Amino acid sequence: MKNLMQVVLVSVGCCLSTLSLAQEKFSSCSAAFVSSKLLVDRYSPTGQCRLSANAKGNLCVSTVAITPAKTTALNKIDFKLAIRDNQTKTVHLFSEKTFRQIPVQQVLSRCKKGDQILLLTTDKRYALPHNEILVQ
């Protein structure tokens, strides 16, 4: 019951702006996936994204359907990438390009253990609360 309430609260909070007719900002929830696997350990305010330095597959950001049983990817959306260096905390843009998906190995080749991959949505309609991925 507690998990169901958390899912409901997160869903309502993430998509609350749909009630406002004058505002399109954050009207859809989204999440990061690698090869259809959700990266966040739990879709809640305390959820965290971690990724093995040896991960394989395509990194993408998709809109999501949230139910008590699971979070399902729906439609891929455009995003940009940045990397936060673990030692200096400097954030640098990965590329000027906008992606729908990218081989995760290509991103990880520019990261060290402890760095964070930052995902930036390009459209204000999409909330992406778990946008930092820790490289392990």
The residue-averaged pLDDT of 45-70 equals 94
Q: What pLDDT was estimated at residue 22?
A: 42
The residue-averaged pLDDT of 91-115 equals 97
Query: What mean pLDDT, rounded, does the chain reach?
Result: 86
Q: Does pLDDT of 136 surpass 70?
A: yes
CA triple 33-29-81, angle to 5 deg? 50
Task: Give this prediction's pTM.
Answer: 0.80
DSSP bridge partners of 43: none
| CA 126 – CA 123 distance, rounded (Å) | 6
Q: What pLDDT was estimated at residue 16?
A: 41
Closest Cα to residue 17, out of 124, 129, 131, 114? 124
Q: Are 28 and 127 in contact (CB under 8 A)?
A: yes
Q: What pLDDT was estimated at residue 12?
A: 39
pLDDT-based confidence at residue 66 (cuts at 50, 70, 90): confident
Alpha-carbon distances, residue 129 vs 11, 49, 95, 119 (angstroms): 11, 11, 22, 10
The residue-averaged pLDDT of 18-25 equals 51
The residue-averaged pLDDT of 93-114 equals 97
CA triple 61-63-68, angle to 5 deg? 115
